[in-house]
Structure 1
Amino acid sequence: MKGSEMALKSVAVAALASALPLAAMAQDVPAPKVLVITMFGGETKPWLENRSLSQEIAIPGLPESAPALSCDDDLCVMTTTMGFGNAASSVAAVALSDRVDLRQSYVLIAGIAGVDPEHGTLGSAHWARYAVDGGLRHQIDPREIPQGWDTGALTLGTSEPGAEGGWTAGTEMFALNPDLAQQALKLTEATELADSDRAAEYRAQYTEAAAQAAPAVSLCDTVSADTYWHGRIIAQEMESRVAALTDGKGVYCTSQMEDNATLTALQRAARAGRVDFDRIAVLRTASNFDRQADGQGAADSLGADSGGFGPATENAFRVGNGLAQAIIENWDSWKDGVPATE
């Protein structure tokens, strides 16, 4: 056999070997139509209480506090635990595992967040088109910035605010499938949302129309950061960052601590043929405002009992489950990809 023929045979054998585990996977392991990703027990609880998720699938690499997927025949829920490190590690463990087949699964990230009072209120639910990393940047403490600077936040690899160029890590921004986001909004915008008397009382101190309104479902965009930041000044920086990284197309509305890390793990898995990145949806519901009301201090706002946590965790289930059930009940329309909106 000639050298070139041997090389071709080796390539063919390697390709066949890599395909065999996936072929076996389709026959031997669960293949949920929907995988729900939550970040901590309070977000997971409504799914466990409202669906009969009696099947447990232990996955090596998941945290000790949440070592298994909870499933029924069509849907599985996992808990990453909070923050970038936990989110990326947990999602990578599941997405690359041979104990579950996610190649045709729709992946729903469903959790709580802070909300910009210009675009939402306590308990409101927001589907994302873009996820932007708010932490991959240079940061100089405001007490040490040069005279004339209005911020200590700089793009990586630059030397002054607003400068162009620099360098990237490659995970600063993810654009999600716009057709899926639009379908998610269409299918869930009429969902009856939970609210609380305390949330209604607390939101009344804000002057923005969206903040004063009852909870609703909308389409806007989310910022991820390991640091649980709070306050008007940082929020305005995040608004600018979303605009810059999305070429002005993004509308910042929610802030959370995991999504870019989760999406990075899912992107790696998609490149390995283990998930379909076009089947990922991100839903964040508002448990708190991301900044203080007029006349309120940022620290007071951060520590306030806003009454938003209960409605937010419940609404993440109600809205997320609305999309999940639509996919499951109409699988023939969804199995080959997101159906066109009418």
Structure 2
Amino acid sequence: MIIRRIMQFYFLVLYLWAGYQFYSLVELTLAGNTADFSLRFPLIETFLPLSAMVGLKQLISTGVFDQVHSAGLSILLIAIFSALILRRGICSHICPLGTLTELLTYGRNHLVKFRVKIPRNVHYFFMVPKYMLLFFFIEVILVQMSGADAAAFIYSSYNIVADVKMLTFFLNPSPLTVKVVSLLVVMTIIIPFFWCRYLCPYGALLNFAAVFSPLQIRRQQAVCDSCGICDKQCPTNIQISRSARISSPECTCCQRCITACPTQAISLHNRITAKILKPAHYSLALLLLFAIGIVSAQVSGHWNSPVLPLLWTKYLSQVSVIVHP
């Protein structure tokens, strides 16, 4: 569990630092200085998932890897592959939004002593929106869009400065954005992990890959005393205490149920090798997979864009008038 906490803290600080550096790059470039792209960490393209999905469409249709936001597509592929092998561990170990949500929930649990119990049928109903969002993006991008249309979007001025558009979205939010974000914070205080459970389409996408993962949470019924602590600890509202084997793709392998169990009745199993995977070993395996994925992308030329610096500088001054194609 301690390794997961270290990973969460490290990646949260890394993303915040990357955001600050990118902000500095934008401000310095707009002030007339030569763009220093060493200030732009490719990792910020994590926040361009729709661009990455368009890049995936181009890759599937034409075999051409995204040359503009190369890291964004690489991160998407790494995330999907990691879900196939290690379930949705990225959500509980690496995702900065997941970490911020967990911190908010931690503070809420220490300040507010009530818990909202959501009936199972309501819980499943609330999960519908994230899958509707995911299917909408799949239909519009992966099904309807042609390879040529995908390539045209990738090289559009809008996509080239999509990172700046995202920065502007966070720094100068509209009144509607402030209201929506405030509502999400309030809902997360009332219902822990509200965004992750019910609205995140990225998590919904990883769920489909996680179905095929060989990892599975298991509960030894002979050892379990049915105290229900595991159910209370689960951030995705899985009823662990009622099943011997938990195969729900919603499981993020956060290890909270494992470490909280007073009788050590819960463990993480590999269905192929029939081995128990300790929490520390799982976290290290996830970190290693993520690191190997990034290094592989760098070595193969699928991390740093060969064309983005020139095009980005060209369109930066026009970012306020560039609209979605």
TM-score (norm 2): 0.26
Instruction: Give 1 or 2: higher helix fraction.
Output: 2
Q: TM-score, normalised by structure 1?
A: 0.25
